[in-house]
């Protein structure tokens, strides 16, 4: 808990330092959602004002981004010198398919590396992401956050920061339906589509669990290639 008697400005700076360190240590992997304001207030014993000022510090440092109606997400600093894909570069169906082609090359190898390097903790987090994805389907939700989290956990399991940073630079917009059809849709067709995605995720997870490099590579390629074909066939429609 932070010392409550200190000035608000000092508390917010200390809180920003603590949260920033968690982002750098991958406790909050870049691209994932930060805890809710109330959760941070309870953990550190600070006011809502302190939390909001701390988040502002992180935003100014390029380590957080608030998306209205969704939440605040961890980011890498803008001046890191790494390749970036800006939102206006993936605003159309054609752009999204092009990005998937890039992902096929990179994430296929990430899955293969994860199969050789994953830890028990990595597996546990992947399983939690799968469970969250299934729960989202059952609730009639779009499962975008859980989907992105699963792919992020694979990147983390490579133990290679470049794969982690690649996913962080893209964020949840790497999931096509987060942009092309972002609304929740409980229709049978959407539910069936998400069930197929879930099964593909499970195939990747099982290959990584079994440390089967070839199977992990193949399952990841199949999943991302299927995503590309589903886009082309119009299962995810551009608005």
CA atoms within 13 A on the CB side of 58: 30
Q: What is the pLDDT of residues 74-93, one digit of tens each?
A: 886 654 444 555 555 555 77
Question: For residue 200, is pLDDT > 80?
Answer: yes
Q: What is the pLDDT of residues 112-149, one digit of tens each?
A: 999 999 999 999 999 999 999 999 999 888 888 899 89
Instruction: Give residue 211's region: left, alpha or beta (phi > 0; psi -120 to 50).
Output: left
pTM value surpassing 0.85: no
Q: Which residues pair with 10 in a beta bridge?
A: none
For residue 130, give both structure tokens.
Answer: 């799968």
State the pLDDT confidence band at 8, using cuts at 50, 70 and 90. Answer: very low
pLDDT for position 90 = 57
147: Cβ–Cβ under 8 A, 6 or more apart, which residues? 133, 175, 197, 201
Closest among 56, 181, 158 to 110, alpha carbons compared: 158
Q: Is 72 helix (H, G, I), strand (E, B) or coil?
A: strand
| Residue 56 and residue 190 in contact, taking contact as beta carbons nearer than 8 Å | no
pLDDT for position 5 = 43
Q: What is the Cα–Cα distance from 63 to 96, expressed in whole angstroms?
A: 25
- Domains of the chain, first to last: 8-79 (1.10.10.10), 82-233 (1.20.120.530)
pLDDT for position 60 = 74
Q: Is 142 helix (H, G, I), strand (E, B) or coil?
A: coil
| Residue 29 and residue 122 in contact, taking contact as beta carbons nearer than 8 Å | no
Q: 73 — phi, psi (to 5°)? A: -120, 145
Residue reference for tokens 């096929």: 104
Q: What is the pLDDT of residues 146-194, one digit of tens each?
A: 998 999 999 999 999 888 878 877 777 777 766 556 556 667 888 888 9
Give me the DSSP letters along 75-120.
---GGG------GGGS-SHHHHHHHHHHHHHHHHHHHHHHHHH--H
């Amino acid at each position: 808990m932070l010392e409550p008697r200190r000035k608000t400005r000092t508390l917010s700076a200390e809180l920003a330092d603590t949260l920033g360190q968690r982002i750098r240590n991958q406790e909050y992997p870049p691209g994932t959602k930060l805890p809710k304001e109330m959760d941070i207030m309870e953990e550190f014993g600070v006011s809502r004002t302190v939390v909001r000022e701390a988040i502002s510090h992180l935003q100014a440092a390029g380590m957080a981004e608030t998306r209205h109606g969704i939440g605040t997400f961890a980011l890498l600093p803008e001046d890191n010198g790494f390749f970036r894909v800006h939102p206006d570069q993936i605003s159309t169906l054609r752009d999204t398919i092009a990005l998937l082609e890039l992902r096929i090359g990179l994430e296929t190898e990430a899955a293969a590396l994860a199969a050789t390097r994953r830890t028990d903790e990595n597996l546990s987090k992947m399983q939690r992401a799968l469970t969250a994805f299934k729960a989202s389907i059952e609730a009639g939700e779009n499962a975008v956050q859980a989907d992105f989290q699963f792919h992020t956990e694979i990147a983390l399991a490579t133990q290679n920061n470049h794969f982690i940073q690649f996913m962080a630079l893209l964020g949840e917009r790497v999931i096509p339906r987060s942009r092309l059809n972002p609304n929740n849709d409980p229709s049978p067709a959407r539910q069936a589509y998400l069930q197929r995605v879930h099964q593909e995720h499970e195939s990747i997870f099982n290959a990584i669990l079994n440390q089967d490099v070839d199977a992990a590579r193949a399952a990841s390629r199949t999943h991302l290639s299927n995503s590309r074909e589903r886009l082309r066939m119009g299962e995810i429609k551009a608005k």
